[in-house]
Copies of this chain bind each other. A is one copy, B any other.
Amino acid sequence: MNSKETKVAPAREIAARIGRLQNAMAGKDVDGVLIQQKSDLFYFAATGQQSYLYVPVEGQPLFMVVKDFERAKMESPIENIVSLTSVKNIPQCLADFGLTPPERLGLELDVLPVNLYLQQQKIFSRSESVDISLEIRLIRGVKSPFEIEKIRLSCQLSDKLAQRMSELLEPGKKEVELAGELEAYARKLGHQGIVRMRMWGGELFYGHLLSGPGAAVSSYLASPTGGKGVSPFVAQGAGHNIIGMNEPVLFDYVFAVDGYLSDHARIFSIGKVSDKILDAHKAMLEIQGEIIEKAKPGAVTGELYETMVSMARKLGYGEHFMGVGERRIRFTGHGVGLELDEFPFIAKGQQLPLEKGMIIALEPKTIFPGVGVAGIENTHLVTENGLEPLTLFSDEISEVRCA
């Protein structure tokens, strides 16, 4: 059972990630980091089990597992692994492995709740706490070849889901009904269901399936499209709208397999959509094409955002690009990986330059209240030559004929 095949990631992959973290720690004068957020744990320890990973600035990490220890041991290639009954025992665990308490302790302060932090301040009473989340997010923003293959797979399955959409789309169906059918298919393909976001309160259920004017309803989510949802509690995504003829139907789905996400939007229709939607869609594809060329390593994310906004304006979509009025969002793309809101952000004011190996969901969209949505979203890999799209289903509006 404990053979190499049961490991979720190769030992050298995990060692390289830990090495990058240790470099970042050294640069910030941090002696030890305690990782406890679920996606960070999966990234650095290759298991989803409940645990704490202590990384010293030099030497081997110590992996302390609360539940389930046997599963974590089977999945994680980290060598120093122990069972832990309480967070209070962490200092003793460290001492048992010859690790001295850190002077400066790095914590994920962007996500750690205050009460847990206060408890840990007592446990590490001699350590000064430092936020290490920016460094972790920067590391996670650049994907390894191992991760890129995982994301490729997610994108391939997302293409299959888009294909299935052409087969299931019928007039008279409720959005939630079609969404449920699509999601059943996604599950059969191995979709993990849960899509994680790092931002507090961020949440998404598979994605957005929205028809006609319903796609232009704004919501709480930091996203160009919102949707009414099935209730004001989860006020986004598919709702009880009936899908009609000749309207743009937005398929905006996140595939999630082996932890890794793709993000993918297409417009479908039953019968023809209006020229207004067709023209806007064409404009969004033009903007996408421009960025595919320009988004090479070194390109500054905030400048790419401004390029997109200014192209949209020149093409006549300034008032409708990425939302309308106060409801406009200030980004046009975001990194994806284990979470939906990873670095880099193609967003207003962002200074981060692109690097080879980043993965970006680029989503130029136009929103017409009362009418619907046009535009595109593809998951791309940043290469020396610009963006390589990993979602390959046709970018054009897919017109489905009514049977």
Q: Please list the residues of chain A having a beta carbon within 8 angstroms of any beta carbon in chain B.
A: 8, 37-38, 42, 46-50, 67-71, 75, 83, 107, 109-118, 131, 133, 174, 176-177, 179-181, 183-188, 190-194, 196, 200-201, 203, 205-206, 218-220, 222, 226, 229-235, 237-238, 240, 257-259, 326-327, 338
Tell me whether B326 and A46 are in contact (CB under 8 A): no
Residues of B contacting A327 with CB < 8 Å? 67-68
What are 19 sample pairs from A and B whose C-beta atoms fall under 8 A apart?
A38-B203, A48-B220, A68-B226, A70-B218, A71-B235, A83-B326, A109-B113, A109-B118, A110-B115, A113-B114, A114-B117, A176-B190, A181-B184, A184-B184, A193-B206, A193-B230, A193-B237, A194-B205, A231-B257
Tell me whether A113 and B193 are in contact (CB under 8 A): no
CB A384 to nearest CB in B, in angstroms, measures 30
Q: Which residue of B lies closest to A68 (CB)?
A: B218
- A180 and B201 alpha carbons, distance in the complex (Å): 26
- A116 and B199 alpha carbons, distance in the complex (Å): 11
CB A136 to nearest CB in B, in angstroms, measures 13
- A71 and B192 alpha carbons, distance in the complex (Å): 31
Tell me whether A218 and B258 are in contact (CB under 8 A): no
Tell me whether B47 and A232 are in contact (CB under 8 A): yes
- State whether A37 and B67 are in contact (beta carbons under 8 Å apart), knowing that A113-B110, A219-B49, A237-B193 are contacts in the complex: no
Tell me whether B183 and A48 are in contact (CB under 8 A): no
Q: Which residue of B lies closest to A228 (CB)?
A: B71
Candidates B48, B203, B233; contact of A42 at CB < 8 Å? B233
Residues of B contacting A229 with CB < 8 Å? 48, 192
- A233 and B196 alpha carbons, distance in the complex (Å): 11
- A365 and B219 alpha carbons, distance in the complex (Å): 40
Tell me whether A220 and B114 are in contact (CB under 8 A): no
Q: Which residue of B lies closest to A235 (CB)?
A: B48
Tell me whether B176 and A180 are in contact (CB under 8 A): no
Give the 6 A-B residue pairs with the shortest CB-CB distance, closest first: A180-B187, A233-B259, A180-B184, A193-B205, A184-B184, A50-B220
Tell me whether A75 and B232 are in contact (CB under 8 A): yes
- State whether A67 and B218 are in contact (beta carbons under 8 Å apart), knowing that A48-B232, A192-B234, A234-B194 are contacts in the complex: yes
Q: Which residue of B lies closest to A196 (CB)?
A: B203
Residues of B contacting A70 with CB < 8 Å? 218
Q: Which residue of B lies closest to A219 (CB)?
A: B68
Q: Which residue of B lies closest to A51 (CB)?
A: B220
Tell me whether B46 and A232 are in contact (CB under 8 A): yes
Q: Which residue of B lies closest to A85 (CB)?
A: B326
Tell me whether B193 and A187 are in contact (CB under 8 A): no
CB A186 to nearest CB in B, in angstroms, measures 7
Residues of B contacting A116 with CB < 8 Å? 200
Q: Which residue of B lies closest to A200 (CB)?
A: B113
- A111 and B137 alpha carbons, distance in the complex (Å): 21
Tell me whether B235 and A49 are in contact (CB under 8 A): yes
Tell me whether B233 and A48 are in contact (CB under 8 A): yes
